[in-house]
Structures are given as C-alpha cells and as structure tokens.
Amino acid sequence: MRKWIALIALAFIALPAVADEGMWLFNRPPRQLLKERYGFEPSRQWLEHLQKASVRFNSGGSGSFVSGDGLIITNHHVGLDCLQKISTPEHDYVKSGFHAKSRSDEVKCVDLELNVLMSIEDVTARVQGAVQPGMNAGEAQRARRAVINTIEKESLDRTGLRSDVVTLYQGAEYHLYRYKKYTDVRLVFAPEVSIAFFGGDPDNFEYPRYDLDVTFFRAYENGKPARIEHFLKWSAAGAKEGDLVFVTGHPGRTNRLNTVTHLEYFRDMLYPANLERFRRKEVLLQTYSERSRENERRAHDDLFSYKNSRKAFVGRLAGLQDPAVMAIKRADEKRLRDAVMADEAMRARYGDAWETVDAAINESASTLRERMALSLSGRLFNTALTIVRMGEELQKPNAERLPEFSEAALESLRQQLYSEAPVYDDLETLMLADDLSYMMEKLGAEHDLVRRVTGGKSPREAAGEAVRGTKLKDVAFRRQLGEGGKAAVDASTDPMIALAKVLEPRLRELRRHSDEVGERLRQAYGKIANARFRTQSGENYPDATFTLRLSIGTVKGYEENGTAVPPQTDFAGLYDRAADHDNEPPFDLPKSWLDAKARLDLRTPFNFVSTNDIIGGNSGSPVVNRDGEFVGIVFDSNLYGLPWDYHFDDRLGRAVSVHSQGILEALRKVYGAANVVNELTK
C-alpha cells in the first residue's frame, strides 16, 4: 500500500514523458500527448471538475468527493489514521469496521484535515526575484523563505484559503496552491481491516490482489454535511480492459531526475539507513503487539506504516542495486552531460551543476548519521519539540519563521498539536527508550547530547521517567504551554519539554545545514532542468510534491515469467485465496464475508491494474474514465512499480485499484449499506 510517509529526500526536476509516464500539473496538462496517443481532448470544465472533486488527506493520502452531500471515498489505509485515533479497547473501528446507518451516527475524526485545491497561481517571478546574485546559499535560502512566507500570508489574508507555495521543477518554478480546508470530517463506513488489507504484508505490493481497501468519510461545514458542487459520478460498469483511465491524486515524492551520484547516495547510505530504522521499529512494535490484543490495537497503525515502508524501500533499494537500472540512469545522464559539454553556452551556464550536486550530497551524507540518531519517533517527544520551537519561532516576524510556523501554516499546525488523539504511556515509553538506545548506538554513550538527554540513566529509565512525568498528555496543558510563548516554555520544568530543550539547538543547526544544502541542490538541479528543457522536446512534468497531479493510463494485464497476469480479479478469487490458506491470518476473511458468500455474484470485478504513473501519496486517488466518472480507487502498486521512485517502467509495473463494481456489490450484499449505495448511485 502506498500511504506516503515523509522521509529525507531532496530533488524534484523536470521529466520527459515516455509510455504512460507522467504526474501532470493541472495547470499544465499533457494535451498533446493525450490527443496524439488517445485522441482525447480534455476541456477546461473536465479538468476543473476533476481537480475540485479531488481531496487531499493531510495525514498522507488522497481521496475524492462522490456525492453532493460531502461523501468522500479514500483507502482504508488512508482512513486508518482516523480509525486508530477514535478507537478504544471497547470499540475497535480498525478491527470491526463501522457503518453509520444514518448521518447522526457518523463519528467525528479527532484531528483530520482535508484540502481541496481551488486555484493555482504562478509566483515564480516574485520568488526568484527575492534571491539576489552574490548571495551565498544560506542568504539565498533565507530570502526565498521570507518571500514564500509573505506570499502565503498575503494570500491567506485575502482569500481565507490555505495557501502553500510549492517548489516545482526543483526551483525552476514556484506555484501558489490555494486550498479549501475541511476539519470537521466524520466516519461513514469502514470495512474490517482483515478484508481491507486481506493478505497482509505477504500480499502488500503484490498482484493479483483481493482487497476492499476503501473507507467513506463525510466533510461537514458548520455542523452540516458540506454542499459539494464537484463530485464524481459513480460508474456502475467501472473500468474494463483497454480503457483509458485517469488518476487524480497527490503523489508524495519521486526522485526521477536525481543525478547518478545522488541515487548512489540513496543506494549506499540513505535507503539502508531508513531500512535499518524501519526494521528496528517493526520488530519493536511487532513484539509489543504480540503481548496482547490491546497492545495490537494500540500499535496497529504505526506497525502497519513501518511494515509498509520497509517493504516499499526493500523494493526501491533492490532496483538501485540492479546494475541494469543504474546503467539506464547512467546512460541518460551521460547523454545530457555530453550535450551540455558540446555546446559552449550551455557548458558555461550548466556545466558545473553535476559537481555541485556531488558536493552537496557529500555535505548531506556527512550529517546523515546524526540526523537519523536525533530523529525521535514518539508522539510526546515530538509534541514537546514542536512546543519548544513554537516558543522560539512565534517571536520572530512571519518572514523569518520556519515554514511550518508561518502565519499561513499555523492553523493546521495547531490542529495537529492540540489533537485529542489518545496517547499510551507504555507505547510512548517503548518508542522513546528505543530511540534513546539507538541514539546511544549511533553517537556513542559518551556523546554530550546522549549524556544530557539520558541524565546518567539507562535509556529505559530515562524514557520511563520522562513519559511518566510529563503533563503533555493533557491537551489543556499542551495548549496552555503552546500558547504561552517562549516565557512559558522557558519556565516549564516538564521532563519531556526538558528533553526537547536539550536536543532542539542541535536539531535547529542540522535543519539549517540541510536547508542550505537544499538550496545548493535547488540551484544545481535548476541548471540541470534547464539543460534538459533545452535539449529535449515535448511536454514535461515535475517530480512529485504531494500536490494534485493527473496521470494517464490503460487498464491492462502483463506477462510475468511467461504467465499472463489478467487485468482484474473477482470475488471468486478472493474466496479461493482464503481457502488456500485455511482462512488463517493474514488470509482470514471476516465473518461478514464468510456469511455473505452465497448472496454475492462471485464474478464481480474486485481489484484491477492499470499503467497509471503513481507513487506513495496516491493512495485513495480516484480512477476515472473519459467521462470523468469514478471507476475505481488506487490503493497500491505491484512490486515492479516500487522503483518508480526514480525510474518509471510500465512493462511490468502497474497501479492496483479497487473496482467500482466490487465496492458497490460489497456495500449492498456484505454490509447492507443501502444508505451509502443510494447516495453513491442516486
């Protein structure tokens, strides 16, 4: 599954499209490509309709409106963040699922924010104008931040919309994205996790597949269901083999135009370090979960995220460790560099870009170990760190603040910071103790920060004392401290705040260092992008930025080791697969599905594959046909799609979706959710 988890990475760049490759900007759709390859010419209205029917889940995924009353469909594993936070030992929404028979039964999520893209404005000139020739990287980075914070604030004040300046083509362009926000979001329907994630980790990123990975929410405004003009009409027939289909969603991050040395850094350092961390946390949470059902419930979402990231990165790393893949990247880079070097003007303007990237990557590599070591994962610690930083940042003028504390961003930050989501002492202690132990391993037990943060105690003792002693579990206390400014933070003796105060100065230095390295990379990649624009023709798209993109594809099977893999699965296949595994986890069907078998049309399409270009963050994206109708919902790629991070290839790589027919049939006959069905089909 492709829920997007933010990780350390840097490059976005202009990309030439091959095959069905492309994560296209809505203000720059691939008209030529669509016309030539598919004979399709999207109208302005068609595009606007898709854009405004698309929903971004700020917890890390995508979705879409599917009724005029604010009904939204997304993946179960995107909705999981909400399901986890509203669950209790008595009512486990993750395990048991949920169906609101009427609107008054719908359950409010605690801290979910949804965004709908209303407009895009090109602000490149103003952003670029702020950076003066002769500025060093630090100065350039600060000047850019200042103008971006200012643009966002002005836009927010003028429109009342969430306003984000997005860096595209790695700094060649800056677009201002304005979003309508929904923060009153309620759960309407979720299936049991055992059918939503049928096949578990073994089937994750695999195909053929049999998952009902969907959840329905409803957006509310002023206590009433939101009135939605642009929503997707449900296609009863759904997608079928050979159809042209579009995916509209929020791919998180790709690294396709990274230089070879940049990818080698991923291969040799960053991805192995990430994987070590993911495996470590997976083992930690897995063993915690095995101790009791209640533990399993508490850790479910976190454990899923680590397992999912681990499997994704194993696939990405495997691609980078394949000399054939690297050879393609090397040849591509050589072609471009040769063209630059052969042209005197280009050589003068762009020739030094690759060495600049190399130097910046070396700089970045030099702090990787420390950045990993000081990147703590517990919720209480990160709450404390945010509060400590907020005290510092809010003293400054808006233009000088870290982006997440800018005026335009504060409301969303507070939504997260003062969330009523439950905090579990035992889990927090486990995670923090492991983080402190990891820090000790990576930096050495005698490192000054390690000594100060553990205070002469063992990691377990130090973590236990901080978690037991902190009052940050109390939202009122958290708010009081957060809104109390620097004076309140300085005066606080809360042990978790004390811990954050120890680490914050060094984390701030590392952040500044990363920002400066990022600026150098931006400038160098900007040159590479321009060199590419000048040496290649055709339409281009920028690397993914967790902003709305359109991707194009065809419903299509593939051939794997001489065997034809069909483009879609059905319910019969689901029951067969469960039976093959004696209905044992993770291949166990919930009781609702065992009971419903006789009532179902077993030939109903369930999951299907298409060649659409996606990446983590696209989870929950609607799949739509030429008529803009909802024909399915993306929830995964197959294993061959994992290297799409840096190299698209649709010979075997596919996006995997739940079919619109399968969803309806399940709602009707497994769950008796007539109210949802009626709303979707009226």
Q: Which residues bind a copy of itself (CB under 8 A)?
A: 200-202, 264, 267-268, 272, 276, 279-280, 282-283, 286-287, 290-293, 310-311, 317-318, 321-324, 326, 437, 440-441, 444-445, 454, 456-461, 581-582, 584, 586
* CA dihedral of 392, 395, 399, 401, whole degrees rounded to 10: 10
Cβ closest to a copy of itself, residue 140 vs residue 453: 453
Distance CA 463, CA 436 (A): 8
Does residue 488 sit in helix, strand or coil?
helix
Q: Which of residues 96 and 437 has its CB atom nearest to a copy of itself in the complex? A: 437
Least Å distance, CB 196 to a copy of itself, is: 17
- Whether the CB-CB separation of 228 and 601 falls below 8 Å is answered with no
- Of the two residues 184 and 282, which places its CB atom closer to a copy of itself in the complex? 282
Shortest Cβ 62–a copy of itself spacing (Å): 27
The pair of structure tokens assigned to 498 is 């004390």
CB 637 within 8 A of CB 665: no
Q: Is the dihedral of CA 546, 548, 551, 557 positive or negative?
A: positive
Mapped onto helix, strand or coil, the DSSP state of residue 117 is: strand
CA angle 295, 299, 303 (to 5 degrees): 135
Nearest distance from C-beta of residue 645 to a copy of itself, angstroms: 16
> Residue 337's CB: how many other CB atoms inside 10 A?
18
Nearest to 13 by CA among 28, 26, 23: 23
Of 108 and 581, the one with the shorter C-beta distance to a copy of itself is 581
Q: Which is nearer to a copy of itself, 335 or 581 (CB)?
A: 581
Which of 290, 627 has the CB closer to a copy of itself?
Answer: 290
CA geometry: angle at 606 spanning 602 and 612, to 5°? 155
Question: Which CB atom, from 272 or from 397, has the smaller least distance to a copy of itself?
Answer: 272
Give the nearer residue to a copy of itself in terms of CB position, either 91 or 101: 91
Of 385, 420, 390, 418, residue with least CA distance to 402: 390
Please, how many CA atoms are within 13 Å of residue 425, restricted to the half-sphere of its CB?
10
SS3 359: helix
**In angstroms, what is the minimal distance from the CB of 437 to a copy of itself?**
6
Least separation in angstroms between CB 464 and a copy of itself: 11
User: Of 330, 335, 214, 202, whose CA–CA distance to 264 is shortest?
Assistant: 330
- Between β-strands 24-25 and 630-637, what pairing exists: parallel, antiparallel or unpaired? unpaired
Identity of the amino acid at 116:
V
Residue 16, Cα to own-chain centre: how many angstroms? 23
Q: Are 133 and 245 in contact (CB under 8 A)?
A: no
- Closest distance to a copy of itself from the beta carbon of 276 (Å): 6
Strands 622-624 and 563-565 come out as: unpaired
Nearer to a copy of itself (CB atom), residue 112 or residue 502 = 502
Considering the complex, state which of residue 32 and residue 292 has its C-beta at the smaller distance from a copy of itself. 292
Q: What tokens were used for 42?
A: 């999207």
Supply the minimum distance, in Å, between the C-beta of residue 578 and a copy of itself. Answer: 13
**Residue 286 or 382 with smaller CB distance to a copy of itself:** 286
Of 445 and 674, nearer to a copy of itself (C-beta) is 445
| Shortest separation between residue 52's beta carbon and a copy of itself, angstroms | 41
Q: Report in angstroms how near the CB of residue 85 gets to a copy of itself at its nearest.
A: 25
Distance of CA 229 to the CA centre of its chain: 26
Q: How far is the CB of 392 from a copy of itself (least distance, A)?
A: 31
Residue whose C-alpha is closest to residue 457's, from 474, 472, 482, 440: 440
Axis-axis angle for helices 137-159, 495-535 (nearest 10): 100
Least distance in angstroms from the C-beta of 566 to a copy of itself: 21
CB of 326 to a copy of itself, least distance (A): 8
The residues, any chain, with a CB within 8 Å of residue 541's CB and separated by 6 or more, are 14, 15, 17, 22, 23, 24, 25, 28, 30, 549
* CA-atom Rg of the chain in angstroms: 25
> What 3-state DSSP class applies to 540?
strand
**Residue nearer to a copy of itself on the CB measure, 126 or 460:** 460
Q: Which two tokens stand for residue 614?
A: 């996606």
Provide, rounded to whole angstroms, the least separation between the CB of residue 569 and a copy of itself: 18
CA 100 – CA 189 distance, rounded (Å): 6
